[in-house]
Chains A and B, each alone.
Chain A
């Protein structure tokens, strides 16, 4: 069997825009693992591929929307969530998923993130957190750990990072989970869960960036980084996300938040029927 034929026999091949493979990501980059897990999840859920939309922002991970064989949109830097809000509200039948980076979602796009979570727009946001701006060559960003080396922190980072899970929970997300790219099964299970939940769900995947961040910070090969994930991550379902800071010695992972709350779309539809019923009563 020729190689391209063999690729066709991969059980996830039908979810990929194969003509655009291989993807742009570096060797050992976690973005490919996130793509893989996402495809596993939609395969397992057997979702209607005509009714799911993947939206991304700008960055290395931002290219992900172009690789998935569903309706997809690659927005401007930081605006994926705002775009997705428009899509979901305009057509509630669609399952809308945002996949983007730590810089895209939490620096330039941070305002959209907190407000979409607060409104409880029924979209799923998955973040590949690689602790830096990979696409532009490894500058520091809102999740870069204190003291870390990047191309714009040549003397070490003096900014405190966001704890994304805590931020999401505080802003009102109904589902918050964190995994590393080594936790492929759990990550897939979380994506499945989020897709089945109503409301704003957030999943963070801690991701290796072996080409840039990990190299500057002398973290070794991608395998070494994955082994570090294995060494320091501890599963703590239900743990208070405020306490789930990421440190060199500990990465708490798990499902931190899983609550019920009516989504914006549901409240909007309820309000609309109330208003329309009242108008009809007044007219008759």
Chain B
């Protein structure tokens, strides 16, 4: 029996990022978790296996990550807020069905606690190597939403935000964290349930017989009926018209559908995108960072200011859709941009595209400790010299 009274653990806690993520999901109303164990995301599964039973939800350990995401799509269509959690290898297995979720406009949350890749790579080491995979991993043209937490508190807050965005735009939303954030222990404040903003998918207002499952409203998002509610609709991964009927050869239907699926994110990007601007007003060099490196970047910027370098930080909370405008605004103002990433250069490409002629310097880290503030300061100093 669903028992929401236990879903929100109001109070101050000391917990890991993985645990905070699980608690965020429950606070957002998640009632279904399907997953397969993988380092460094396993603790999310473990927590959910205990807590979901307490709140009367469903935890199921599937046979693999393909099954996990498929079950999550099914649970979402059955009317439950649902999620899965994994790391690189599992995320790779999920890609085809992320496309299915995009095509069938299924609200769901995928947590990827990134580790070192390619392949089995370095299971216990941090990485940010799945950033482009999160954007382009499934075949076909599509847009997706991905958020990058940089603290344990944000693992809680942004997991809720992921659910809210997924429900608002009927799209899979990815929480892209890394091993350090997942395993780090910090203080987390969980507010009372009534202070947490929880959004649920909009429901159809049309009579059941007139319902067209993929006919969008003005915001380009179709209201969502679920199984068992009397609408008797069909959904398919094939290209389909607004009624949900497969249209496998019509260029018109294909164009309309693919454009709408992308545009419902693109045209709402301003509402979706979140970033934190720190000391950017008069900056002439900027760090653009997300996830774990943004912590060192913040210290670096503060430190640099003391040393007389006019440094600023743009911390990206939303990485997909890419905050194009915010980045080009910064680029117009500064002499150079430093991008610390725990990969061999991924989001830096998007930054370069938005920065146009402003020089962009990549600080790449692979398989080691994350960036130290001093390394970032040094890069900034060289950039403005």
Contact = CB atoms under 8 A, between A and B. Distances in A.
Contacts of A88: 74, 78
B63 interface: yes
A17 B228 contact: no
B77 to A, nearest CB: 6
B58 A65 contact: no
Contact of A86 (B63, B82, B228): B82
Nearest to A118: B63
B100 A86 contact: no
B275 interface: no
A95 to B, nearest CB: 10
B343 to A, nearest CB: 29
Given A53-B227, A94-B228, A273-B1, A74 B245 contact: no
B360 interface: no
Contacts of B236: 65-66, 73-74
Chain B binding site: helix, strand, loop or mixed by DSSP?
A: mixed
Contact of B230 (A50, A75, A272): A50
- Most chain B beta-carbon neighbours within 10 Å: one of A19, A71, A94: A71
A85 interface: yes
- Most chain A beta-carbon neighbours within 10 Å: one of B64, B67, B76, B96: B67
Contact of A76 (B53, B70, B76): B70
Contacts, number: 147
- Most chain B beta-carbon neighbours within 10 Å: one of A19, A75, A111: A75
Interface in B95-117: 96-97, 99-100, 104
B87 interface: no
Chain A interface size, as a band, is 35 or more
A41 interface: no
A74 B232 contact: no
Given A50-B232, A76-B96, A82 B67 contact: yes
B237 A90 contact: no
A67 B237 CA distance: 15
Interface string A82-103: 1111111111011000000000
Nearest to A78: B66
A223 interface: no
Contact of A66 (B3, B66, B67, B246): B246
A268 interface: yes
Interface residues of B, number: 48
B196 interface: no
Contact of B80 (A17, A50, A63, A91): A91
A51 B67 contact: no
A153 interface: no
A89 B74 CA distance: 9
Q: Which 10 A-B pairs have the closest CB atoms?
A: A86-B74, A86-B71, A82-B70, A74-B236, A90-B75, A90-B78, A82-B67, A86-B75, A83-B74, A87-B74
Interface of A: 17, 19-20, 49-51, 53, 55, 63, 65-66, 69-76, 78-79, 82-91, 93-94, 111-112, 115, 268, 271-273, 275-276, 279
Given A76-B96, A91-B80, A279-B54, 15 more contacts: A53-B228, A76-B70, A83-B71, A86-B32, A86-B74, A90-B31, A90-B58, A90-B79, A91-B78, A93-B228, A94-B78, A272-B1, A272-B56, A273-B1, A275-B54
12 contacts: A53-B227, A74-B246, A76-B96, A76-B237, A79-B100, A83-B71, A85-B67, A86-B60, A90-B74, A94-B227, A111-B64, A275-B54
Interface of B: 1, 3, 6, 31-32, 34, 53-54, 56, 58, 60, 62-64, 66-68, 70-80, 82, 96-97, 99-100, 104, 227-238, 245-246
